[in-house]
């Protein structure tokens, strides 16, 4: 049924014009379609990661449609690949904005926190990146400022979603997500601090330390909400929090200078009480980004560290994104939801990979051309560069030609794309 519905939407998207007038209420529609052909050499890192859960191999078609009317927004993106012979809906979103302060969203939508992060340049958020398809969920989001100090604002959100069933789950677990940010925004300066909490809970596990149907009552949800302990298992030193919990302390600052914008950020990752209290020291994602005032050029540097997986008795050393109960870990449709470079090597045997990663992202835009570069390398061991470079050239007002180059070790793949904007 979903397959049929997706094709109906796809045909509809191809037939609609850019703008419509219905009952004197303007409906704005933005849409595009892209055709790509990639050489068939050995796949490289950037072909298989940070692409919303899809492999950029062989030939593929992607499309996007955005519709807005007053305070109602609809988005639907599609992807068809000859590599896996599949037709997917990347996003299917409905966003109702009750006011400038309150939003209701349902579907597969992108994360609503860490808004400062440039996903097109970054190696990926520590918590929710562009590596996997967005988890389907329902969310409520609110932002407001203080009456007496309008430069001080806060934003908060809560969402409920569901993972996919796989070899680890007879019934897929639920997703609980919430966040809170406090922001100080002035004319030329902005900084903020946030706390984001994610949790996997409920479901029916097939493989894991304690298999079977997991607690899923409303009382259990309240325990998940506050990360309260579950039952004390025989042979364990202490009771663990009910479900699989992870999150970030999120820090950022943005400076608007005379010639460019300067951005600093740090996402401190945690999976238990000890790392929540910074026992894992500087683990997480560090970044700095420069952008020209006209946004025609930019440069980003990131450092990713996971080497301080803490040992703080009675707590055990962390294995980021892995969980003894939910063996699929922090994955959706077999793709890491967070930073794709942090990847437990073996889900079943809890094998850790501690890494230090250096990453560079850059872009340069002219009137008729866009250049984009991503390159990464693990610096704690002998590792090759993982690079993606593309040049997008404007052919006319609607048509763009995109040249892609992927590199890893001795392998280089090339791709050519045709983009049409309606």
Structure confidence by residue, pLDDT tens digits, 15-27: 333 333 444 467 8
How high is the pLDDT of residue 311?
64
Structure confidence by residue, pLDDT tens digits, 183-230: 999 889 999 999 999 999 999 998 766 788 999 999 999 999 998 866
Structure confidence by residue, pLDDT tens digits, 272-320: 888 888 888 999 999 999 999 988 999 999 999 999 886 666 556 678 9
How high is the pLDDT of residue 299?
98
**How much is the pTM?**
0.88
Taking the C-alpha atoms of residue 297 and residue 260, their distance in angstroms, rounded to an integer, is 10
Quickly list H helices, 119-278: 218-225, 273-276
Query: Three-state SS for 384?
Result: coil
Whether 57 and 51 have beta carbons less than 8 Å apart is answered as: no
Compute, in degrees rounded to 10, the torsion defined by CA atoms 184, 156, 227, 191. Answer: -20
**β-strand 244-256 against 189-201: which pairing, if any?**
antiparallel
Taking the C-alpha atoms of residue 316 and residue 32, their distance in angstroms, rounded to an integer, is 49
Taking the C-alpha atoms of residue 352 and residue 322, their distance in angstroms, rounded to an integer, is 9
Query: Where is mean pLDDT largest: 93-107, 233-247, 257-271?
Result: 257-271
Whether 93 and 76 have beta carbons less than 8 Å apart is answered as: yes
pLDDT at 336 over 60: yes
The edge-to-edge listing of strands for the beta sheet with 212-213 is 169-171, 204-205, 212-213
- The region that residue 26 occupies, defined by phi over 0 for left and psi between -120 and 50 for alpha, beta otherwise, is beta
Q: What is the tally of helices (H) and strands (E) in the chain?
A: 4, 24
Q: How many residues does the chain have?
A: 422
């Amino acid at each position: 049924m979903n397959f049929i519905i997706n094709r109906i939407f796809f045909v509809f998207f191809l037939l609609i014009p850019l703008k419509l007038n219905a009952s004197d209420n303007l409906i704005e529609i933005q849409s595009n379609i892209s055709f790509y052909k990639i050489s068939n050499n050995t796949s490289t890192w950037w072909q298989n990661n940070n692409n919303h859960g899809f492999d950029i191999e062989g030939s593929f078609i992607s499309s996007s449609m955005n519709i807005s009317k007053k305070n109602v927004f609809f988005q639907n993106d599609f992807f068809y690949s000859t590599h896996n012979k599949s037709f997917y809906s990347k996003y299917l979103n409905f966003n109702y904005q009750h006011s400038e302060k309150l939003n209701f969203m349902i579907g597969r939508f992108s994360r609503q926190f860490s808004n400062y992060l440039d996903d097109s340049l970054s190696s990926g958020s520590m918590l929710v990146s562009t590596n996997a398809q967005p988890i389907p969920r329902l969310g409520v989001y609110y932002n407001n400022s203080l009456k007496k100090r309008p430069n001080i604002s806060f934003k908060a959100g809560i969402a409920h979603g569901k993972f996919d069933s796989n070899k680890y789950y007879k019934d897929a677990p639920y997703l609980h997500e919430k966040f809170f940010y406090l922001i100080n925004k002035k004319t030329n300066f902005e900084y903020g601090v946030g706390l984001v909490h994610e949790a996997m809970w409920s479901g029916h596990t097939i493989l894991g330390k304690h298999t079977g149907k997991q607690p899923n009552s409303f009382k259990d949800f309240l325990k998940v909400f506050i990360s309260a302990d579950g039952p004390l298992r025989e042979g364990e030193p202490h009771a663990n929090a009910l479900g699989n919990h992870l999150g970030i302390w999120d820090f950022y600052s943005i400076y608007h200078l005379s010639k460019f914008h300067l951005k600093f950020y740090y996402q401190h990752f945690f999976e238990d009480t000890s790392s929540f209290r910074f026992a894992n020291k500087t683990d997480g994602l560090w970044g700095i980004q420069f952008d020209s005032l006209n946004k025609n050029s930019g440069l980003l540097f990131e450092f990713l560290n996971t080497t301080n997986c803490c040992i703080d008795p009675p707590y055990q050393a962390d294995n980021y994104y892995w969980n003894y109960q939910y063996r699929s870990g922090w994955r959706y449709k077999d793709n890491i939801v967070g930073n794709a470079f942090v990847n437990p090597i073996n889900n079943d045997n809890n094998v850790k990979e501690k890494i230090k990663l250096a990453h560079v992202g850059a872009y340069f835009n002219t009137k008729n051309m866009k250049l984009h570069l991503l390159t990464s390398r693990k610096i704690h061991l002998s590792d090759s560069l993982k690079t993606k470079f593309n040049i997008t050239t404007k052919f006319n007002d609607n048509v763009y030609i995109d040249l892609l180059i992927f590199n890893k070790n001795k392998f280089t793949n090339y791709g050519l794309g045709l983009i049409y904007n309606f």
